């Protein structure tokens, strides 16, 4: 379980991979040996992509069947069907998941890459054609080594740290040249993936001709900088989304429980520049205020946080369903809040001890039984509002197509 948590708990990896900050000291960074830049990937090859429409072994062509668990304990099964003729595209960059032994990952899709696609991306296939490149990301192996004070050789080299970003730019440009054909596109990322996409948007899209094809960007598990009191900052001409009919905008947030707010050393919810603040856009209420989360939670990892060892059940005295996902209508809600210098998506569990359904969900980053409050609900940033995000993408697609 802890291995899985580390595989998704990747904000530190995002910071390190994009800024050069690791566990290494300044002296170590200065003396790190220069590394030879690796050869470029050939994104014309199908094996360079996790998801590509019609690809054999498409990682997004997976079972997303969901058991809907109502408050009274009644259940029903919800089927899922992708739309191969969807009128728009989605382009996704996954978070830090690689357990490869090197500083940067290889281009082989292991279970950690395919599992995160299933959890965070595949459900968007009902609204868009999905493109998800493999990329040579800064690995968990290197991150753990750096954070332990024993950085791997070359891990501080700027060229090494640029490999993943350069891969994503190459994949993006290949997609634009060979597949896009003028279609609107939604960019989707989480944590390190959000950081990479933030840079791609800033350098390759913002203010460029291709911006007219940007339907929206969904940047989860990150702290996107905004000028205080404004809806732009990191991007000069791409504002935060205020409604599902708005296009060319960005949804960004990081999630914390209302009962476990970000502590002083939190990795999310604020930015270094005191003139700026972290963006928070609630997928369940783009215009602001509270909204009900339409979550799609992993059933494989289902644990009731209050009594995981004793009774890991969605409904009291009933066995868990066999479907890969579970939905719990009415159990979860949230709003964007500004508290103690942090801006974040505050999640609330509408617990009712009188009904038979679980009164809590998993999602906290833990070391053993101890919750690491600084991470919030980073593990389920995508899952907790997945249904809301899919609905938003559908509405944005209609608005975008109506303007063409």
Nearby residues of 25 by Cβ (< 8 Å), 6 or more positions away: none
Q: What is the mean pLDDT of residues 209-233?
A: 98
Q: Specify burial of residue 265 (Cβ count, 10 A radius: 0-12, 13-18, 19+).
A: exposed
Nearby residues of 105 by Cβ (< 8 Å), 6 or more positions away: 98, 135, 136, 137, 139
Cβ 32 vs Cβ 24: under 8 Å:
yes
CB neighbourhood size of 147 (10 A): 15
pLDDT, greater one: 141 or 22: 141
Given this model, what pLDDT does residue 321 score?
Answer: 92
pTM of the model: 0.91
pLDDT of 276 strictly over 60:
yes
Q: pLDDT of 94-135, one tens digit each?
A: 999 999 999 999 999 999 999 999 999 999 999 999 999 999
Q: What is the mean pLDDT of residues 166-173?
A: 98
Cβ 174 vs Cβ 77: under 8 Å:
no
Nearby residues of 229 by Cβ (< 8 Å), 6 or more positions away: none
Given this model, what pLDDT does residue 72 score?
Answer: 97
Q: Specify burial of residue 28 (Cβ count, 10 A radius: 0-12, 13-18, 19+).
A: middle
Q: pLDDT of 258-270, one tens digit each?
A: 999 999 989 899 9
Instruction: Report d(CA 50, CA 60) in Å as an integer.
Output: 8
Given this model, what pLDDT does residue 226 score?
Answer: 98
Given this model, what pLDDT does residue 91 score?
Answer: 98
């Amino acid at each position: 379980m802890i291995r899985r948590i580390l595989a998704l708990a990747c904000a530190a990896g995002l910071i390190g991979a994009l800024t050069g900050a690791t566990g290494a000291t300044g002296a170590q960074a200065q003396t790190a040996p220069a590394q030879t830049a690796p050869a470029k990937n050939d994104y014309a090859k199908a094996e360079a992509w996790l998801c590509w429409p019609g690809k054999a072994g498409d990682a997004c062509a997976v079972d997303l069947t969901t058991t809907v668990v109502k408050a009274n304990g009644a259940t029903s099964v919800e089927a899922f069907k992708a739309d191969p003729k969807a009128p728009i595209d989605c382009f996704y960059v996954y978070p830090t998941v690689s357990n490869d032994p090197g500083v940067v990952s290889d281009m082989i899709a292991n279970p950690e890459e395919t599992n995160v696609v299933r959890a965070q991306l595949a459900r968007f296939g009902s609204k868009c054609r999905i493109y998800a490149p493999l990329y040579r990301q800064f690995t968990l192996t290197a991150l753990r080594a750096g954070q332990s004070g024993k950085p791997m050789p070359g891990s501080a080299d700027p060229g090494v740290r640029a490999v993943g970003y350069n891969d994503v730019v190459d994949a993006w440009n290949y997609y634009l040249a060979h597949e896009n054909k003028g279609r609107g596109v939604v960019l989707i990322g989480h944590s390190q993936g959000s950081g990479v996409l933030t840079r791609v948007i800033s350098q390759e899209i913002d203010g460029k001709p291709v911006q007219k094809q940007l339907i929206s960007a969904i940047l989860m598990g990150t702290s996107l900088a905004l000028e205080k009191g404004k809806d732009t900052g990191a991007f000069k001409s791409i504002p935060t989304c205020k409604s599902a009919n708005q296009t060319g905008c960005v949804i960004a947030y990081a999630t914390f429980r209302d009962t476990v707010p970000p502590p002083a050393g939190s990795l999310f919810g604020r930015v270094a520049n005191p003139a700026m603040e972290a963006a928070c856009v609630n997928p369940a209420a783009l215009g602001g205020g509270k909204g009900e989360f339409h979550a799609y939670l992993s059933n494989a990892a289902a644990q009731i946080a209050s009594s995981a060892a004793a009774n890991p059940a969605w409904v009291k005295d009933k066995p868990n369903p066999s479907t890969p996902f579970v939905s719990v209508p009415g159990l979860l809600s949230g709003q964007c809040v500004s508290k103690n210098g942090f801006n974040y998506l505050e999640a609330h569990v509408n617990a009712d001890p009188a009904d038979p359904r679980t009164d809590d969900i998993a999602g906290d980053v833990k070391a053993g039984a101890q919750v690491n409050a600084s991470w919030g609900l980073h593990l389920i940033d995508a899952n907790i509002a997945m249904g809301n995000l899919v609905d938003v993408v559908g509405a944005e697609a209609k608005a975008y197509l109506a303007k063409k």
